[in-house]
Chains A and B, each alone.
Chain A
Amino acid sequence: MIRELEKLISLHDLDIMISDLIDKDIIKQEKKLGLSPALAVEQLRKMRDELSLTIDRRYRDLYDQLAGHYGNAVVPVVNLMCSGCFTQLPTAFSPSTEKNDQVETCPSCGRFIYWCD
């Protein structure tokens, strides 16, 4: 998998972690377990900013636009279907040995897509 795509997936996972740790229901349950979500989220935000700065600006800007618009900017392709908008991808997107070797976007919704391995 191309490193830039790995970074976009990691950025997405980090954004999910941060959004979870500011969710009041999850905060309540994490505290019951004895964790400190407020401390974790502060550190995760710093890590998110650091990771974000290492991503090519074109992709970073597009990621931020997509995340702002859809909530999720990176989605897997399942059965040749974008799992963000559930549109069947053209056969030109058929997986090959080179899948995930370039950053691709869904031609319908524009989200970043990756092939599950």
Chain B
Amino acid sequence: MERLCQCKWNMSSKNWKSAISELLGEFSFKATTENLLQTALETRELADPTIIHENIAIPHCRSILVDDFMIIIGKSDSGIPWPEEKVSVIILFISPVKPSGPSEHMELIKHLAKALRSGGAEKILSAGSPAEAASILKLSYEVNPGND
């Protein structure tokens, strides 16, 4: 899948809300957009936390506020309570709303589910670099200036 992702290594957040904020901050959203996306992602987590594997969470949503897929992998050495169980890898993604419907969003979920099966989850937890983490998820890694 030729989807770009960013990575945020050594996250400093101590709770799940600030972790979402820290990851959204890696994108160049304007303040209002960032706040509304934060609200959407928080709402999804409050409905049912998106812990998919021991130590991995995948906060995600579709929104009219983005016009392309926004994917970022975050990693925290100390772990972040989500909201109780700690996670050390966060795969956050936001899909655009398109007239064609949610098929591309579904394809991305399917792609991630496949990549994380058969040992993928364990591999990403032990990934030593952003590029390696992106490679495990079969995503193209986009280096974010000031963060590699």
Contact = CB atoms under 8 A, between A and B. Distances in A.
B109 A10 contact: no
B65 A9 contact: yes
B16 to A, nearest CB: 16
Give the dominant DSSP class at A's interface. Answer: helix
Given A26-B109, A75-B64, A117-B30, A17 B50 contact: no
B61 A23 contact: no
Contacts of B33: 116-117
Interface stretch (A40-48, A59-67, A89-97, A102-110): A40-48
B50 A35 contact: yes
Nearest to B53: A34
A82 interface: no
A85 to B, nearest CB: 11
Interface of B: 30, 32-33, 35-36, 39-40, 43-44, 46-48, 50-53, 58, 61-65, 97, 102-103, 105-106, 109-110, 112-113, 116-117
B109 A16 contact: no
Contact of B52 (A17, A33, A47): A33
Contacts of A72: 64, 97
30 contacts: A1-B32, A6-B35, A6-B36, A10-B39, A10-B43, A13-B43, A13-B64, A13-B65, A14-B43, A16-B63, A17-B40, A20-B105, A23-B102, A23-B106, A25-B103, A26-B109, A29-B106, A29-B110, A33-B52, A33-B116, A39-B47, A39-B48, A43-B46, A43-B47, A44-B43, A44-B44, A47-B46, A75-B64, A76-B64, A116-B33
Interface of A: 1, 6, 9-10, 12-14, 16-17, 19-20, 23, 25-26, 29-30, 32-36, 39-41, 43-44, 47, 72, 74-76, 100, 116-117
Contact of A26 (B32, B35, B51, B106): B106
**10 smallest A-B Cβ distances: which pairs?**
A43-B47, A40-B48, A117-B30, A29-B109, A32-B113, A40-B47, A34-B52, A13-B40, A33-B52, A29-B110
A10 B46 CA distance: 15
Interface hub of B36, B52, B64, B103 (most chain A Cβ within 10 A):
B64
Contacts of A25: 103, 106
Contact of A30 (B30, B43, B109, B116): B109
A47 to B, nearest CB: 6
Nearest to B50: A35
Contact of B64 (A9, A20, A26, A35): A9
